[in-house]
Every structure is written in structure tokens, then in C-alpha cells.
Amino acid sequence: MTAAIHLYRTLTQAASPFLGGVMKRRARAGKEDYGRINERLARNMPRRMPGGTLVWLHGASVGESQLLLELGQRLLEKRPDLLLLFTSQTQTSARLLGPALPDRAIHLMAPLDTPAIARRFIRHWQPDLCIFGEGEFWPNLILEAEKAGAKRALVNGRMTDSSAEGWQKLSGAFQRLVGQFDVVLAADTDTARRLETLLGQPVQSTGNMKSALPPPSASEVETRRLRENFLGTRRCVLAASTHDGEEAVFLDALKGDEDTALIIAPRHPDRGNAIESLLKSRGLPLARRSRGETPTPRTRVLLADTMGEMGLWYRLADSVFLGGGHAEGVGGHNPLEPVRLGRPVVTGPEVFNFATIMDDLEQRGLIRRLKTPKAIGKALLTMDPPAPEALAELNEAADAPMTVTLEALLPLLPEPGLLQ
């Protein structure tokens, strides 16, 4: 054990007596669910189903959780005997995962990473395989899983230059934690290069697994109702997954185009009040989805501050402004969902988390990265939908990262029926 890991374990153990109070304060602030604090502390957990091979899949928030949900479903197709345990950090991801779970799967809020909590969690669930999505490196949980003899895998690994520089100062700790994984797969060649430098061993780049995620679904009845009652004959432009400040960019881009219906679907719906204030300050007639307000042809903006309805908004839109590219430190969002639904997409220039995908899609003529409101507005109103041939080529290549990842993970699982 390196000095850095020893120090981390000591500090997290010292913090343990105070975590119950910290969780309650976070719950009062709306950052935790009171009813799920025990899950964060690995107490009073559901019983583990007897028998079966258990795969634990952990991701931080919505994006990683959606990816791991698809991966889990693919694993079940190959191995129907598996038990799946999903964990995530945020309430938003929990709300999305809950109703979407397949049979033989449960979701818990992720345990806090102290030695005692990690030990209780691993001993209770006894996972056979632990899958960490993108960049979730929690030392105590990783070490306890190793002690228990569980296989460990990093899938769709993503690491920025700044993260790599930070880990370089703790390279011994990183090698001790991640260098012992049974499988390490990177989402792009840049991350693979950074991981190879840190680990001193080859790392395979599979491509971003998010390319394999199916577009979100939507009710045909609700889509038709909103087209008739809200859009009418108007063009519709969607601002999807926006962050603070990006709604203003979007509104500036379409200022003066009074005949276009607008939908704003923020990345974090709890920002609804702030966005409503912005819209009112600009004198824009709005309807707020979270309050059940019904938009009419006189409504300029539908504030879609709800979860799980992005498929509906994409289908209503003629073009999409994708957030995350104008918000400092965010690094963009996955553009594949609206593109695969045949929508022209404009995003901002700061998309380092999806650089490889963005480069590829821009070369195919499927997205544009623009900075100024004037350029964004012009593109949103004039871009043509993706050509069918371009979409066909994209869809053909989309599943490859998921296929390669499954091929790497399946050999880590014990054969059905073998005693663990």
C-alpha cells in the first residue's frame, strides 16, 4: 500500500463518525434523499438473492448510469443467470434508473468510500465482478473488492489532461488501484494514451460506448398532442441539457425570430425557477412542464424541467442546441441521441469530454460547433436534417464499442452453475 493510499484510508476512517450528520445536513439541503441515507452508509441493505453470479455496476451520475444500464441489459442477454446491482451518486440518476431496471436487478445509492462502509458493502453483496464506469476510482471500495477476490473492470474510461496531471503526482497509488484491474478499456485514444502513461501498460481504446445507446423513447400520443396544441405550424428549436448561462445564449441566438417555438430542457431540472425568472425577465410567454401547465400556440417557450422525457423533446424539435459546450468545466454532452433521431445539432466549442465523437460527427456533417449566438441562431434555423446515408453509416459503427466491451467482460464471469 502506498503512502498516499494509507493517508486516504486514515483520513476517511477518521471522518466516519461525522458522516451521519453530514448526510442529514445534505438531505435538508435537498442534496440527498432522507429515505436512502442508510444506502450511503451501507446499512440495512436489501438481502442478497441467494445463488447466482452478482455483477456490481457503478457510475457517478446520469450519463454513466444510462451507459451501465445498457451494458447490464446486454450482459443479461448473454447470461440470464446474472444478478445485477447498480449504484450511482446522484438523485437524478436514481430517479432515472429505478423504473428502467431489468428483472434480476436493483439500484442503490452509492456507498460512501470509507474503509468500514466499503467493507460492509462488499461483504454484504459479495460481487463476482465490479464494473466501474468512465472514471470512478474509489480507493476503499476498490481495495475491499480486491480483498474479496472480485474481478474488477474499468469500462468506457475517460480522463482529461488535467485529471491525468493530477494522478501523475500520485502515480504509485493509481498503479496500485487501477493497475490491478482485470480489464481497463478507454473510450477514446487520448484517454488510452493517458492511462498507458500512468499504468505503464497497454490500454485498449474501444470507442465511446455511448454510441451504442438507443435514442430515448417517447409516447406517440403525447408527441402528437403537443404538436397539435403547442407547435401547430411553427418551427421548433430545442435547447437540450443546458447549464447555467446557456439558456441566455440560446435565447440570444433566436432573438427576434418570434415565429419559432422554443423548448428548454435543462440538464438539472431543479434549475427551473432560475430559468423561469430569466424567461419572464425577457417577456417570453411560457408553460412549465413540472407544474403541469399546458402550452398553447401562444406559448413561446415550453420549460421542460422534468426527467425522463428527452425523447419527447427531441422528436418535437426541428433542430437542437446541445448544452455543455458553453458552460465552463462541463466539457459537452453526448450528441448521438439527437443525431440518431435525425435532428441537426449545434453545440458550443468546449466539448473536451466528447472530443473524438464530436470530431467524427462534424466530419460527417452531422453537427456544428459554434461559439457566438449569431452563428448558432443562423445554423439552428437553416441546417438540413442528417442525410439518410450518413445516419446509416453512423448506426452501423455505433454498436462496436459495446460489442468489444462485452467480449472483454464475459470471460471474467464464472461459468453458470459453478460454485463461487
Q: What is the pLDDT of residues 147-166, one digit of tens each?
A: 999 999 999 999 988 899 99
Kindly indicate the confidence band of residue 399, based on its pLDDT and cuts at 50, 70 and 90: confident
Distance CA 30, CA 28 (A): 5
Distance CA 369, CA 387 (A): 18
Is the pLDDT assigned to residue 215 strictly greater than 70?
Answer: yes
> What is the pLDDT of the chain when averaged over all its residues?
93
SS3 241: strand
Which region among 62-66, 184-188, 402-406 has the lowest average model confidence (pLDDT)? 62-66
182-198: average pLDDT:
95
385-393: average pLDDT:
89
363-389: average pLDDT:
94
Residue 219: Cβ within 10 Å count: 13
Residue 12: Cβ within 10 Å count: 20
Is the pLDDT assigned to residue 417 strictly greater than 70?
Answer: no
Give the per-residue pLDDT at 206.
93
301-323 pLDDT tens trace: 999 999 889 999 999 999 999 99
Is the pLDDT assigned to residue 1 strictly greater than 80?
Answer: no
Give the per-residue pLDDT at 420.
45
37-66: average pLDDT:
90
253-263: average pLDDT:
94
Question: Which of 68, 67, 133, 62 lies closest to 105, judged by CA?
Answer: 68
Question: Which of 334, 329, 395, 333 lies closest to 364, judged by CA?
Answer: 395
Kindly indicate the confidence band of residue 357, based on its pLDDT and cuts at 50, 70 and 90: confident
| Backbone torsions φ then ψ of 157, nearest 5 degrees | -55, 135
Give the per-residue pLDDT at 291.
97
264-269: average pLDDT:
96
What is the C-alpha radius of gyration for the chain, rounded to an integer number of angstroms?
22
Q: Which ranges of 254-292 would DSSP assign to H, the alpha helix?
A: 272-281
Helix (H) or strand (E) holding 367: strand 367-369
Distance CA 278, CA 323 (A): 17
Residue reference for cell 475491499: 144
8-17: average pLDDT:
96
358-381: average pLDDT:
95
DSSP state of 365: T
106-140 pLDDT tens trace: 999 999 999 999 999 999 999 999 999 988 889 99
Give residue 388's identity as a one-letter amino acid code.
Answer: P
Distance CA 368, CA 363 (A): 9
Percentage of residues in the chain with pLDDT exceeding 90?
Answer: 80
- Cβ–Cβ under 8 Å, residues 413 and 55: yes
Is the pLDDT assigned to residue 419 strictly greater than 70?
Answer: no
227-239 pLDDT tens trace: 999 999 999 999 9
Strand ranges for 96-141 from DSSP E: 105-109, 129-133
Residues recorded for the chain = 420
Kindly indicate the confidence band of residue 101, based on its pLDDT and cuts at 50, 70 and 90: very high
Grid cell, residue 168, equals: 501523475
Report the largest interatomic distance among the alpha carbons of the chain, rounded to a whole angstrom.
Answer: 68
